[in-house]
């Protein structure tokens, strides 16, 4: 079933029919519950896109999405008023930022990049290498309350942020509308649920490639991009093995197997750990040495506007990313991270290297550029409502 889901980007198969034909019984119950949670919400889905799964305890509504959008952009939802979710997740660059790694509101640098949020509603997991966070509601707790490193810097037992929000007449109207029947809707639980609801609407599906593949516009992408598509999905490149489905990313919320994480040979340091000590990947949760350096494949939607690349922003251009994969792992000649990544003992068998001609490089880059959804990047429904 997982591979069928990941192949939707290629086949354009009717989604709902595919989902319910192949879902195992347990996942079918989840999907049906999701449809119930979606019942009162008017999704605006691009052709070929399924209805996203939604938790039964956080049903979608227009009022909740609007509340979540305002909270997403509100700097009052930080310990010092210096940042919001949107500080690290900027619409113009695919709801990430252009820093190598994220920086919290107190100036503390994180070990990893802010992840892009396009089509996050379809993700199976929501961090670079944490297999335990499987809902947007759960994920939202980290930026709100994490203190190692600090992101927004709030404290669960400090109601100051809630008092600031309650002083705004906009919120005094929106919270009760978003959570009708709740006598006390001004809680962190409701904040996380509202922001998660907004994030589920961040669906990118009108790129030139979408118009070519799903909307049957043969001239929507160039001949070069069409050749790049063929390279992307076929041997010896097989990029779609790890970047598949409608997200062009890793494991899907519809998959029935465990999320996948991969070591791509980005580093190969000497000693017990082959990756920098603050970026050991999946190992940080499993403590299995075979998981050192394993990270989840990010979505490639809008990837051309999202430099720099990799989990730590250590490759500055898409050209550099292609060089990394063509070599079967990155070689760093000198400095503290010197090593031959292709010899990393945990490197995935999917990263074997390949020969890349000048024309093939141009074609792959043209294809990746065709995944840029300008409408999504400029959609006023996702923009800062406080402006």
Domains and CATH numbers, the chain: 208-369 (1.10.760.10)
Q: Is the pLDDT of residue 28 over 90?
A: no
Report which of 215, 84, 80 is spatially closest to residue 158, judged by C-alpha positions.
80
Bridge-partner residues for 332, per DSSP? 339
For residue 177, CA distances in Å to 13, 163, 185, 198 come to: 37, 18, 9, 15
Q: Which residues contact 234 (CB under 8 A, 6 or more apart)?
A: none
Concatenating the DSSP letter of every residue in 331-368 gives EE-SSTT-EEGGG-TT--TT-------HHHHHHHHHHH
Residue tagged 């227009």 (tokens): 62
Instruction: Give the per-residue pLDDT at 5.
Output: 40
Bridge-partner residues for 249, per DSSP? 244
Bridge-partner residues for 339, per DSSP? 332
Give residue-wise pLDDT tens across range 86-108. 999 999 999 999 999 999 999 99
Split at pLDDT 50, 70, 90, the class of 380 is very high
Instruction: Give the per-residue pLDDT at 352.
Output: 94
3-state secondary structure of 109: strand
Say how many C-beta atoms besides its own lie within 10 A of residue 106's C-beta: 16
**Model-level pTM?**
0.91
User: pLDDT averaged over the chain?
Assistant: 91
Say how many C-beta atoms besides its own lie within 10 A of residue 24's C-beta: 10
Instruction: Give the per-residue pLDDT at 223.
Output: 98
Rounded to a whole number of angstroms, the distance between the first and last alpha carbons of the chain is 44
Give residue-wise pLDDT tens across range 226-245. 999 999 999 999 999 999 99
3-state secondary structure of 51: coil
């Amino acid at each position: 079933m997982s591979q069928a889901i990941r192949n939707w980007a290629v086949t354009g198969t009717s989604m709902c029919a595919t989902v319910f034909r192949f879902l195992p019984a347990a996942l079918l119950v989840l999907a049906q519950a999701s449809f119930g949670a979606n019942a009162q919400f008017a999704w605006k889905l691009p052709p070929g896109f399924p209805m996203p799964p939604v938790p039964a305890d956080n049903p979608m509504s227009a009022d909740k999405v609007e509340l979540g959008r305002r909270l997403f952009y509100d700097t009052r939802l930080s310990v010092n008023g210096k940042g919001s979710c949107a500080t690290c997740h900027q619409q113009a660059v695919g709801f990430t930022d252009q820093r190598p790694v994220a920086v919290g509101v107190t100036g503390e640098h994180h070990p990893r990049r802010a992840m892009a949020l396009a089509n996050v509603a379809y993700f199976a997991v929501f961090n670079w290498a944490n297999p335990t966070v499987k809902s947007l509601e759960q994920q939202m707790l980290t930026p709100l309350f994490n203190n190692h490193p600090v992101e927004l810097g709030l404290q669960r037992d400090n109601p100051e942020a809630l008092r600031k929000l309650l002083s705004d007449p906009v919120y005094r109207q929106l919270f009760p509308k978003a959570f009708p029947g709740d006598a006390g809707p001004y809680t962190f639980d409701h904040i996380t649920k509202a922001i998660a609801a907004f994030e589920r609407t961040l669906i990118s599906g009108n790129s030139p490639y979408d118009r070519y593949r799903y909307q049957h516009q043969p001239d929507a992408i160039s001949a070069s991009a069409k050749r790049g598509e063929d390279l992307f999905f076929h041997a010896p490149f097989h990029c779609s093995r790890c970047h598949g489905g409608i997200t062009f990313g890793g494991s899907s919320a519809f998959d029935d197997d465990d999320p996948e994480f991969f070591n791509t040979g980005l580093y190969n340091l000497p000693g017990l750990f082959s990756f920098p000590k603050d970026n050991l990947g999946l190992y940080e949760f499993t403590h299995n040495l075979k998981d050192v350096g394993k990270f989840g494949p990010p979505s490639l939607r809008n990837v051309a506007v999202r430099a720099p690349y990799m989990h730590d922003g250590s490759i500055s251009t898409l050209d550099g990313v292609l060089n990394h994969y063509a070599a079967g792992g990155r070689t760093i000649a000198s400095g503290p991270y010197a090593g031959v990544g292709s010899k990393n003992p945990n490197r995935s068998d999917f990263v074997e290297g390949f020969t890349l001609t000048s024309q093939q490089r141009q074609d792959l880059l043209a294809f990746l550029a065709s995944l840029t959804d300008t409408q999504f990047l400029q959609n006023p429904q996702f923009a800062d409502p406080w402006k």
